[in-house]
Structure 1
Amino acid sequence: MVNNADFFEQTCLGTVQFGLNYGVSNKNGQIAGADVQRILELAHHYNVSRLDTAADYGDCERVLSKYPETLQNFSIATKSIKTSNIQEKKFSKIKTDLIESLETSLDILGMKSFDLYYLRSPETLFQYHREDTSKYIAEIKEKGLVNKIGISIYEEKQLNDILEVFQPDVIQIPFNILDQRLSKSGTLKSLKAKGIDIYARSLFLQGLLLMQPDQIPNFFRPIKSHLQQIHSQLTEYSLSSLQACLLCAFQTKEIDKIILGVSSLKEWKEILKTIEELPNQPLDWSSMSLDNETFLNPSKWEVN
């Protein structure tokens, strides 16, 4: 019997590092194939039964396809391809590209359907092709290509624009010790009241929250004292940075699933061991948060 079984059931394994070198603190590069298989086997052992992937995560899908028997143990979430010039294109062309990519991904992975399909640029699709986009979503569900439809947001304004025209099954949000904006604003409670599942990503903020304050890139100097303060608080709580990042999300009751990406087999083993041994002590995380999006949104970072 695994300790903290509920925590493992809440966990989704992010696979971007299976196909790309990703993350501000990632010094390991793309994960080797043999390690990918072991990571998947360990995930299954601990009842982590969900994978989060995408066609544009480098060669991630082809890496995963090398382990068909292991892959059968997981339900998989994917993302639609990025679509440019949405306002200028006819939807028939957009739809053809989306369907082709979706079916290609299923074929590569040897699957009949995805459990969850994140629609990229949903606000633009609905703005310029509202009826056709709604029909497309209904069609891929009816055909059994996908089970649930999700959207992934970076800021609350995106969410408000989308919910005016469409209610997804799942909303993926950035959430971590520093970025608790959607929780503090009451937005997460509002989403749960609508019956929407909430998936959290960026628990480690691309590894920034696992770094020692004296190791952080110069870009983050303005918040260095805040990060040092957090480390001091965690020392008082007898928690490591990794424990705290995980606990903060697991203890936020509105969050249904958390997505964890790893950069190595060693890191995955450490995460699994940490989850298994997590002390489920209730803590107040709100004082550790920030509101400055410059440091919360990696797309705004100026880091070499």
Structure 2
Amino acid sequence: MKRRILGRTGLAVSEIAFGGVEIGMPYGLGAHEMPDEASAIRLLQKAVELGVNFFDTARHYGESERLMGTAFQGIRDQVVLATKCVHLKNEEGNIPSYGELKATVHESLEVSLKNLKTDYVDLFMVHYADMDILQNEDVIRVFLEIQGEGHVKNIGVSVYKVQETAKAIQSGIWDAIQLPFNLMDQSHGDCFQNASEKGVGIIVRSVLMRGMLTERKFKMHEALKEVDNHLEAYRTIAETHFRNFPEYATKFALKHPQVSSVLVGIDKEEYLHASIDNLKGDELSTEIFVRSKNIQYPDPSFLNLAEWDRKGWL
């Protein structure tokens, strides 16, 4: 398993990061059978044995933090742990004042440290930093203060929109950004070079687009006909040049040198082995890389799977 440096953090992280949401709570499209506790712990330890050292979790991921804490007892120095704070906005959608905000973030971190059975986290992130949060001086103040106290080595944000990525990079505050990026939606790629120049580490999620960029075929609603056409174009490339679709999707993301790690949701050992196998062999050729960029979906804002699900399109 190759490792890349996560921006100015200096952390050497595995190219595949273990996404911990699916071991902690039901998640994703369709039915989801979670592993039992013993199986989840064995899976996490097996990932370390196979060279994965970067693990992503969050306070909102159910039992995920606690399972990682149990799995990594005695081998904390072998893993890089990233977790996310509880959501910062209240039920009314407002960001609390400095005092309340500080108390919320500190309490969230304390619970995470207890769950993870550690006295520090390598990366502590805002769980969905929208433009309101990114522009809020109290949020910045609280996270910089908490970083200076020693239990948080680096701070970062998880975002959805390109403008949020651009703002996070421009601020000069955040050490790493977790963002969605895949063959279909390459919009955040416009920010990669700037992030690299500013020393901001890039962690990519949604590389398989919630299973769309796999051999699994969804029955697509008529409203998604154009989406299906693009998926088929990529599927043709995958079938011609790669062992499978996820290998193609993973290698496309890692072809970008600014990307430090690709986050993959893993809840079974077979998925762990498959994710690692996707790195084997030659990297993406320049010719396929250029082709892949040229056929990206033209309107990334339309690629909202949660919205499709709500509308009954999936």
Q: For 1:1-304, what aligned pairs fall within 5 Å after superposition? A: 5-6=2-3, 9-24=14-29, 27-69=31-73, 72=76, 73-83=78-88, 84=90, 85=92, 87=94, 89-120=96-127, 121=129, 123-127=131-135, 129-130=136-137, 132-183=138-189, 185=190, 187-213=191-217, 215-218=218-221, 220-275=224-279, 277-282=280-285, 283-284=288-289, 285-302=292-309
- In 2, the alpha carbon distance for the partners of 1:68 and 1:269 equals 19
Q: Is the 1:12–1:257 Cα contact (8 Å) retained in structure 2?
A: yes
- In 2, the alpha carbon distance for the partners of 1:261 and 1:51 equals 10
CA deviation vs aligned residue, 1:160-213 (integer Å, no higher than 9, x gap): 344454531111111111111222x3x211111111111111111111111444
The CA RMSD over aligned residues, in Å, is 2.4
Aligned-residue offset at 1:64? 2.5
Q: Which runs of 5+ in 2 are unaligned?
A: 5-12
Q: Residue type of the partner of 1:173? A: L
Q: Give aligned pairs, total.
A: 294
Identify if the C-alpha distance between structure 1 residues 135 and 209 changes in structure 2 by more than 3 Å, giving closer, same or farther: same
CA deviation vs aligned residue, 1:204-238 (integer Å, no higher than 9, x gap): 1111111444x344364331122112111222214
Identify if the C-alpha distance between structure 1 residues 201 and 296 changes in structure 2 by more than 3 Å, giving closer, same or farther: same
Aligned-residue offset at 1:109? 1.5
CA deviation vs aligned residue, 1:98-123 (integer Å, no higher than 9, x gap): 10111111012211111001124363
- In 2, the alpha carbon distance for the partners of 1:100 and 1:178 equals 38
Q: Residue type of the partner of 2:193? A: K
Q: Is the 2:82–2:123 Cα contact (8 Å) retained in structure 1?
A: yes
Identify if the C-alpha distance between structure 1 residues 250 and 216 changes in structure 2 by more than 3 Å, giving closer, same or farther: farther
Q: Residue type of the partner of 2:84? A: K
- In 2, the alpha carbon distance for the partners of 1:247 and 1:136 equals 37
Q: Residue type of the partner of 1:255? A: V
TM-score (norm 2): 0.84
Q: Residue type of the partner of 1:180? A: Q
- Partner residue, 2:7: none
Q: Is the 2:15–2:262 Cα contact (8 Å) retained in structure 1?
A: yes
The structure with higher relative contact order (CA 8 Å, sep 6+) is 1
- In 2, the alpha carbon distance for the partners of 1:95 and 1:70 equals 31
Q: Residue type of the partner of 1:78? A: T
TM-score (norm 1): 0.87
Q: Is the 2:169–2:194 Cα contact (8 Å) retained in structure 1?
A: no
